Structure 1
Amino acid sequence: MFTQLKNIDTAFKHIKQFSIFLIIGNVLTMCFCIYKSTQAVSLAHNQVHILYNGKLLEAIAAERKTNLPVELRDHIKTFHEDFFDLSPDDKAIQANVGKALYLADESAKRQYDNLRESGYYNNLISANISQEISVDSTRLEGNQWPYIFTCYATEKLVRSSGTVYRKLVTQGEVRDIAIQTDNNPHGFLIQHWEILANRDTVVQK
């Protein structure tokens, strides 16, 4: 009789241990399923589908800070291209510079006024000079707003007598204005902008 009771007690212990392991296993499985489901939902929310030229494209949304250096460099590049890509036409110059001034504060307006008063744009028009710029590199400094930048670029001035290449170096800061518009899609503003160097390097005839 005592042996039978002992066997029953041992069997109960085994069943109890098995039940505990089973419950723990179920809990771990449930936690894993919840985690994977949450991860899948989060990934689905970050996926954006875009219809472009009749084709469905998939894009992935990311936090802005992930692409911040790329956005800053693109904003700086766009500003310099609008400000320095000039054709020998007064209306075209005003249109291009006008687009650039949306991306910067009054420091850029002062540079534009100085160039206009010095007759720079009139010389381009009278001599039929086309000016193009190629941004070589942009160095960003700091890890908080406003970001300090130095832009290195090459200007190409094409005239009937030949082509002149200039080395351009500018400096300024970029701050976040937190408002994105058609004229300023990144929502950044260049401030305290100044031209450090703008000198001829190569003259081709």
Structure 2
Amino acid sequence: MFSHLKNIETAFKHIRQFSLFLIIGNVLTMGFCIYKTTQVVNAAQNRVHILYNGKLLEASASDRKSNLPVELRDHIRTFHEYFFDLSPDDKAIQANVNKALYLADESAKREYDNLREAGYYNNLISANISQEIHVDSTRLNGNQWPYNFTCYATEKLVRSSGTVYRKLVTQGEIRDLAEQSDNNPHGFLIQHWEVLANRDTTIINN
């Protein structure tokens, strides 16, 4: 009789152990399923489908932080192109500068006013000078807002008598507006902007 009870107790012990292992296995399996499901959902949310010319294309969405340096450099480049790409036409100059002023604070407006008062734009128009800029490089400093930057660019001034190349160096800060618009698609604003150097480097006579 005691042997029979001992066998029953041993059987119950085995059943409890088996049940415990089964519960632990189920919990681990459910946890793994939830983890994989979350991964799949997140991956699906980062995929964007675009309809282009009747074809369905798949694109990947990414966190803004991963592209932040690229966006900052593009904002800086766009601002400088709007501000320094000038045609010998008053309306074209005004239109470009207005676009640039959406991307910067009053420091850019102050620089524009100084150039206008010095007759810089009138000289471009009267001499039929076309001005183009190429941003060579942009150096970003700091790990927090506002980001400091230094922009190195080359200006090309084309006139009937020849072509002049200038070295342009500017610096400033960029802060996040947290909002984007048609006039400021990146949602950044350049502040404390100043021109450090703008000197002739090469003169080519026709």
TM-score normalized with structure 2 length: 0.91
Match in the other structure for 2:185 = 185
Aligned partner of residue 26 in structure 1, secondary structure:
helix
**Cα RMSD (Å) of the superposition?**
1.7
Tell me the SS of whatever aligns to 1:109.
helix
1:57 corresponds to 2:60: no
3-state DSSP of counterpart to 2:88: coil
Q: Distance in 1 between matches of 2:53 and 2:182?
A: 22
| Residue 89 (structure 1) shift | 1.4
After superposition, what is the alpha-carbon deviation per residue over 1:75-108, rounded to whole angstroms, capped at 9, x for unaligned? 1110000000111111111111111011111111
1:110-149 alignment runs, 5 A limit? 110-149=110-149
Alignment map for 1:1-205 (pairs within 5 Å): 1-205=1-205
Q: Deviations over 1:26-80 (max 9, x none)?
A: 1100111011112212222222222233332323333322222211111111000
Name the SS of the counterpart of 2:87 in structure 1.
coil
> Cα deviation per residue 1:165-186 (whole Å; 9 max; x = unaligned)?
1110001111122221111111
Mind listing any 5+ residue stretches in structure 1 that lack a counterpart? Answer: none
- Displacement after TM superposition at 1:115 (Å): 1.1
Whole-angstrom CA distance in 2 between matches of 1:191 and 1:172: 6
Q: Tell me the number of residue pairs that the alignment of Structure 1 and Structure 2 aligns.
A: 205
Deviates more, 1:118-127 or 1:95-104: 118-127
Tell which deviates more after alignment, 192-201 or 47-56: 47-56
Distance between the aligned counterparts of 1:74 and 1:12, measured in 2? 71
Q: SS where residue 178 of structure 1 aligns?
A: coil
Cα shift at 1:2: 4.2
Deviation at 1:3, TM superposition (A): 4.0
Secondary structure of residue in 2 paired with 1:167:
strand
| Greater displacement, 10-19 / 99-108 | 10-19
d(CA) in 1 for partners of 2:51, 2:192 = 40
Q: Matches of 1:166 and 1:55 in 2, distance apart?
A: 46
Q: Which structure 2 residue ranges, 5 or more long, are not aligned?
A: none
**Matched residues in 2 for 1:60 and 1:25: separation?**
36
Distance 1:54 1:83 in 2: 39
User: What's the offset of the Cα at 1:6?
Assistant: 3.6
Query: CA–CA distance in 2 between the matches of 1:100 and 1:53?
Result: 33
Q: Deviations over 1:86-144 (max 9, x none)?
A: 11111111111111011111111111111112121122222222111111111112222
Shift of 1:4: 4.1
Structure 2 distance, partners of 1:84, 1:54, is 40
* Cα separation, 2, equivalents of 1:3 and 1:202: 107
